[in-house]
Amino acid sequence: MSQMNQELLTAITFIADEKKIPRDAVVDALKNAIIKSYMREFPEEVINADINIDQKILHVYQILNIVDDYEDLNDYCEISLDDAKAFYAKNKIQKEAVVGEQLHKNIELNKLPKKIVDRIMQTFRQLILMQSNNVIYQRWKDRVGTIIYAEVEKNDNHGVVVNLENGEFGYLGRKDIIPNENLMPGQKYRFLVKEVLQSSSGWPILLTRTNEEFVLGLLKEEIPEINEGLIEIHAIKRVPGFKTKVCVSSHQIGLEPCGTIIGPQGSRIAGVRRELNYELVEAVFYSDDFETFLINLCYPALIYGYKVVSEATEDHKKQVIIVVPSDQMALLIGKFGANIRLISKILNIDADVKTPQEAKIEDLQYNRVEIKTQRQRTFERILESNKAGHDLDMNQFNKPNPIDLNTLKDKDNTIVAQSEPNTQIKVKKTTSAKKILNSSNAVNLLDQIDNFQFELPKEDNENVNSNINNNHVENEKQVEIVTKKTTTNKKSLIEKLMANEETRQLSGNASDLEAKLENEKIFKEANKKKKSVKKSRNKAKVEPAKFTSILEEFKNKNNEELLKELENENQDRDYEELLDNYEDQDEE
């Protein structure tokens, strides 16, 4: 076996292990590549190949039919009997040449023209790629329509290659990339598996970021109410890079679908917009009524009306003229016409926009709509949904045995409401709202209170009024009793004080009073003198500038004399401070 054949057999085993393809599939791919490439160069010849990896056999041969010699012999597929005998003798093949049998003429691959060899290798790579893609198809065919999180491997002018790990790659064409978006290599993004091709010679896994299903997948990841079935998405239409409209409705009473998707201050929709390269995402309330749905889709533009020019046919869409004021025209059309295009896609119509002035000139008779803000329409819609749900819940209270609310009974304070004769329901009046809300009968209680007719019979009203009057009379009596008690207490207190004052005055003598007065005068004069002495002493304090002279005197005098003087001064100072403190206390 030649060296080239040996290299091919080694390549077959390596490719089979790397691509995780069965060896038989690789052998078939190589066999088909040799036959197709050779017959493309020599179409009249018939060749075949025998390949056995275990026995290391690679035999490529030409098939010739043994015939009797005649003039127009075809050398590409026929050989004469004499030439066949000579071929067997030359190659030392112990076989007898017989007319009608086939002769296998060996073909050396290394002796083939380079053109044929290159074509064989190219065809072999394509066939191996198709086999590999077929294996990938079996693994990824069930993941079509799902969102994956993968890293960008390469980004060029043709498209983006995404690394899906395990030696598998996905591909995005330029149409599947959001306009003005630059996917950086090495960064991870979310992609939608758009399609998986079987036996493809190109990329088997095709990804996208511009599909409406991509927006749907992102919404399901961010908003759990969609997966729970509380919010239904009826339609999603998108102009990639500019705007997306999502038509939604709610299956739960009181749940506003648009606000739920957007979230407080746009917190929920922010994650979706971030993945869409900050594309505008608008939630629209879906309605079966064409007029209501058109008004919702046109918002924030407030339209005056519309006219259906023609209904939809097999060849043409529904023709609709929308009348909008000139100052709202830009809002309705949108940037690069994105908004009006989305409206046309969702309603499946051909929309034309006119101003009221143009409609008047053309004498256009159109259906006028009531101009309301989106907040007003949302509020009215919530009221209608709550009313519908309330009407449905009223059926459960028509039963003969109403709900027992004894669990909410209060010993001290109860409110009695009578809805039917001989039927009373006691409602607890408490300051804690959590207890009522946490109870299992709280919702039913509130609904049942709404259904009650609080118009009591006349006899009951009279009894209630009489009880109220009696309560007023009793309260007035209690107030009089309290005022009487307070006045008597005040009088007795004043009398006691007067008596004490009289006794104190009678017990004292005039001489004592005079002595007390003189003492008070003397005490005041002494306080004045002490205050003046204190002020003078404060004024006579040593200034900081004189400390230098004191230090010089300290150097000249003896230490013993200075110490004695300091002790005397300290004693005098302590005595003065005690006097000052005492005087301050007296003044207080």
Mean pLDDT to the nearest integer, 274-298: 93
Cα end-to-end distance, the chain, whole Å: 128
Residue 319: Cβ-neighbour burial (10 angstroms; 0-12, 13-18, 19+) = middle
CA 393 – CA 397 distance, rounded (Å): 8
pLDDT of the residue at 549: 64
Nearest to 234 by CA among 297, 176, 191: 297
**Range from 40-44, 242-246, 263-267, 517-521 that averages highest in pLDDT:** 242-246
Mean pLDDT to the nearest integer, 284-301: 92
Please state at what angle helix 212-222 crosses helix 267-275, rounded to 10 degrees. Answer: 140
243: pLDDT strictly greater than 70: yes
Q: Each residue of 414-425: pLDDT tens digit? A: 333 333 333 343
Mean pLDDT to the nearest integer, 554-580: 57
pTM for the structure as a whole: 0.56
**Range from 67-71, 203-207, 485-489, 516-520 that averages highest in pLDDT:** 203-207
The CA-CA-CA angle for residues 563, 565, 566, to 5°, reads 65
Backbone φ, ψ for residue 386 (5° rounding): -65, -40
Say if domain 3-128 classifies as CATH 3.30.1480. yes
Residue 142: CB atoms within 10 A of its CB come to 10
User: Which has more confidence, 22 or 355?
Assistant: 355
Q: Each residue of 219-234: pLDDT tens digit? A: 999 999 999 999 999 9
CB 170 within 8 A of CB 164: yes
* Whole-number average pLDDT of the chain: 75
pLDDT of the residue at 14: 78
At 466, the pLDDT band (50, 70, 90 cuts) reads: low
At 557, the pLDDT band (50, 70, 90 cuts) reads: low
pLDDT of the residue at 540: 47
pLDDT of the residue at 158: 86
Q: Read off the tokens for 159.
A: 């498209």
109: pLDDT strictly greater than 50: yes
Q: Each residue of 48-73: pLDDT tens digit? A: 888 887 777 788 888 888 888 877 78
CB 51 within 8 A of CB 58: yes
Q: Each residue of 522-548: pLDDT tens digit? A: 666 766 666 665 555 554 444 555 555
pLDDT of the residue at 57: 79
CB 146 within 8 A of CB 208: no
CATH among 3.30.2350.10, 2.60.40.3950, 3.30.565.10, 2.40.50.140 for 144-210: 2.40.50.140
38: part of which helix (H) or strand (E)?
A: helix 23-41
38: pLDDT strictly greater than 90: no
Mean pLDDT to the nearest integer, 341-369: 93
27: pLDDT strictly greater than 90: no
* Fold (CATH) for 287-394: GMP Synthetase; Chain A, domain 3 (3.30.300)
CA 546 – CA 541 distance, rounded (Å): 11
CB 54 within 8 A of CB 156: no
- 300-304, 335-339, 378-382, range with the lowest pLDDT: 378-382
437: pLDDT strictly greater than 60: no
Q: Read off the tokens for 576.
A: 């003065």
- 27-31, 147-151, 336-340, 582-586, range with the lowest pLDDT: 582-586
Mean pLDDT to the nearest integer, 14-19: 76
579: pLDDT strictly greater than 70: no
Mean pLDDT to the nearest integer, 490-503: 57
Q: Read off the tokens for 200.
A: 């493809």
pLDDT of the residue at 502: 54
- Quick one: what percent of the chain has pLDDT higher than 70? 63
- The DSSP string of 85-153 is HHHHHHTT------TTSEEEEE--GGGS-HHHHHHHHHHHHHHHHHHHHHHHHHHHGGGTT-EEEEEEE
Domain boundaries, the chain: 3-128, 144-210, 287-394
Please state at what angle helix 114-140 crosses helix 23-41, rounded to 10 degrees. Answer: 140
